[in-house]
Structure 1
Amino acid sequence: MASFSEYLPYAFALIVAIPFLVLLRQFVHSYITLKNQEIKLLSLKSNSENKTHSYERMTLFLDRIKPSNLVQKFDRELAVHEFIFLTEKTINEEFEYNSSQQLYISKNSWKNIVDSKNAIIELLHKTYEGLNGNADLNEFKTIFIMNYMEGNDYIAATIEDLRKEILILT
């Protein structure tokens, strides 16, 4: 039968190893917890950057569809109906290009953006109908801008709503 003294070195090694293993386990657990927190923070930061980028892109879109900016596009030698066609096509293409941004923008803001886009296209057509096709392009552009200025500046209101919303998010 073996004596207790034969097991003494093993007992001593076990007494020394147990605290070391407990400390190692705590270190690994703390390290994993910190890394998970870091990953969460990075994903929140990335999501926040995506939202900010979306608001910037849609603000730029709205700025581009302001009548004062639209009338500067295209050749001055176009017929009015050609200008309307090209302008509407450009607005719709840029809108479709940016449509994925609705994932990051509130439903209300997205609705306001869509409404602004549709209102500008509608204003183009109403201005043309109001002239009965009897105006050159420069006259049309002037009346188009005047018609926009007579109504509510819904583009500026939408941009201001986006600005307020992004301030809340950041």
Structure 2
Amino acid sequence: MEDKILEGLAYALPAIVTGGVAYFIFSGFLKQGNSEKKLELLAEKKKESLPIKLQAYERMLLFCERINPVKLLLRVKPIGDNKEAYLQLLMGNIDQEFEHNMVQQLYITDECWNVIIASKSAMINTLRLVADTSDSANDFREKVLLEYSKKEPQTNTAVAFLKKEVRRLL
């Protein structure tokens, strides 16, 4: 009887070992296949989201160009001679552009968004400071144009940062 048990174990042991090896090999193949599928899905997701992200960066670049003080003053002319009314018109135009592009923050980095906000705020502060020293809307306009002929607009910093971010994406 013991011989039969030993004989049964002699046949069963190689079958168990072969089954265990087969199990580990197949589980390794399955894990590798799952990993490859996950990588493919991730690559597909990135491929689909890249155009949306690029479009967001394009919109923010356009925002920066539209609120560039020189371009803004050439596009938005004073209605009257009141410098405060002209300042409010310019700030309203900037706020309108900003609100129109606000959703783009979903697709750009937080750091990039903060640079854009800082650029917008710095430009508005500069406009306010120049308005305080101006006598009329036309004087205000001339002083702003003169100010930005001497120095680079704050929006250029944001534009440079946007370009750097896009290069990193590509």
Q: Work out whether residues 123 and 148 of structure 1, in 8 Å CA contact, stay in contact via their aligned partners in 2.
A: no
1:84 to partner: Cα distance = 1.0
| Letter in structure 2 aligned against 1:50 | I
Equivalent position of 1:87 in the other structure:
90
1:75 to partner: Cα distance = 4.5
**Aligned residue runs from structure 1 range 1-170, under 5 A:** 40-78=42-80, 79-131=82-134, 134-135=135-136, 137-170=137-170
Alpha-carbon distance in structure 2 between the residues aligned to 1:126 and 1:111: 22
Alignment RMSD, CA only? 2.4
Alpha-carbon distance in structure 1 between the residues aligned to 2:77 and 2:150: 26
| Letter in structure 1 aligned against 2:113 | W
The change in CA–CA distance for 1:127 and 1:158 in structure 2 (over 3 A counts) is: same
**Which residues of structure 1 form unaligned runs of 5+?**
1-28
The number of aligned residues is 137
Alpha-carbon distance in structure 2 between the residues aligned to 1:59 and 1:111: 14
Q: Work out whether residues 65 and 91 of structure 1, in 8 Å CA contact, stay in contact via their aligned partners in 2.
A: yes
1:70 match: secondary structure:
helix
Alpha-carbon distance in structure 2 between the residues aligned to 1:74 and 1:169: 34
Q: Work out whether residues 69 and 153 of structure 2, in 8 Å CA contact, stay in contact via their aligned partners in 1.
A: no
| Deviation sequence 1:123-158 (CA, Å, 0-9, x none) | 111111112xx23x3221110122234344321121
The change in CA–CA distance for 1:130 and 1:160 in structure 2 (over 3 A counts) is: same
Give the TM-score of the pair, scaled to structure 2.
0.69
1:82 to partner: Cα distance = 1.6
| Letter in structure 2 aligned against 1:155 | T
2:133 match: secondary structure:
helix
Alpha-carbon distance in structure 2 between the residues aligned to 1:118 and 1:38: 42
**Which residues of structure 2 form unaligned runs of 5+?**
1-29
| Letter in structure 1 aligned against 2:117 | V
Alpha-carbon distance in structure 2 between the residues aligned to 1:76 and 1:88: 12
